[in-house]
Amino acid sequence: MLSKGVGLMAPVVGSDDETQYHKDFTLSITKALGDQLAAALKGLDRAPLAEESIARLKEKPGVYQLYLNGEFVYVGKADKSLPTRLRNHLRKISGRRNISLAEMAFSCLYVAEDFSALAPEQLLITHHKGQGNIPWNNNGFGNKDPGRQRDHTIPNRFDVKFPVDLDRPVEGLSPGETTLHELLETVKGGLPYNFRYGASGEFKTRSVHVPAAGMTADQVFRLVSAEIPAKWQITALMGYVIMYDDSPNTYRSAWRYYRDGQLISAQPEAELAGSVEVDQPMLDD
């Protein structure tokens, strides 16, 4: 029993600047996940971007990072198969000038399918951009064929720095007689960069003589340009090659034209203007 004159102590009520019984709190689960992914990748060794290394990987989805001469340059994802995605990059880089596969390395993490809904690639991009920058993200490296409507635009930074290699031999060529259509299909499948061309019924009936196997892209494009009608031309853009019946149309990023069997050099605007393009979303493998 309480003594007379002694009562319960009332709670102290003061202004907000006198008490700390409430405050704002932001729960950033995505940042925590991004930090964990980056830390896990940082703790891995790096393997050469070569078939021998890729062949040891499991056919599982995941995220990966690419390194050029030891410098971190790109983060990407594979929704189905890490080996497939990395082989795509291996083939693309093999067809570029000013860069060698011997300079490239990678590390990767397998990611469970239920985790892929959280976009682990974007978590890593956000993390690394907070630390500085990722040179090959948002500069066109992950792009595939941009489509006919983008042929006249100034190319992305990756293509400016590492343009397609026209001195690379075309895989799958066989010497002898073939149709122009069959030759174009062989060239399309035998180069590690995109070769897009318009259709024409006469290509299926026009005969072409391929003098030798192992011809370079430059040699084959000269050969083809001598066989197609005069209104057609082959245009080597910095990131890919196109062939349409629009001669003598010019392109801002063209550095070679092939017309009537002749090579015509050009000055691409990209070398002066730099890059204005941004990376398109990477397509799933």
69 φ/ψ sector (left φ>0, alpha ψ -120 to 50, else beta): left
78 φ/ψ sector (left φ>0, alpha ψ -120 to 50, else beta): beta
Q: Give me the pLDDT at residue 218, please.
A: 98
Q: Give me the pLDDT at residue 16, please.
A: 53
Mean pLDDT calculated for residue range 138-152: 83
What is d(CA 76, CA 107) in angstroms, rounded to the nearest whole number? 11
Mean pLDDT calculated for residue range 17-45: 75
Terminal Cα distance for the chain, rounded? 79
What are the structure tokens assigned to 267, written together?
């000055």
Structural domains in the chain?
A: 29-131 (3.40.1440.10), 148-271 (3.55.50)
pLDDT in tens, 220-242: 999 999 999 999 999 999 999 99
Q: Give me the pLDDT at residue 265, please.
A: 95
Indicate the range of 37-46, 88-97, 136-145, 187-196 predicted with least confidence. Answer: 136-145
Q: Give me the pLDDT at residue 71, please.
A: 93
Q: Give me the pLDDT at residue 55, please.
A: 97
Nearest to 107 by CA among 44, 40, 177: 44
Are β-strands 62-68 and 71-78 bridged in parallel, bridged antiparallel, or unpaired? antiparallel
Q: Give me the pLDDT at residue 17, please.
A: 58
pLDDT band at 28 (very low <50, low <70, confident <90, very high): low
Per-residue buried b or exposed e for 49-81, using 16+ beta carbons within 10 Å of the residue's own CB: beeebbeebeebbbbbbbbbeeebbbbbbbeeb
What is d(CA 154, CA 275) in angstroms, rounded to the nearest whole number? 7
Residues of the chain with pLDDT > 90, as a percent, come to 59
pTM: 0.79
Given a cut of 70, whether residue 11 has pLDDT beyond it is no
pLDDT in tens, 111-127: 876 565 567 777 787 77
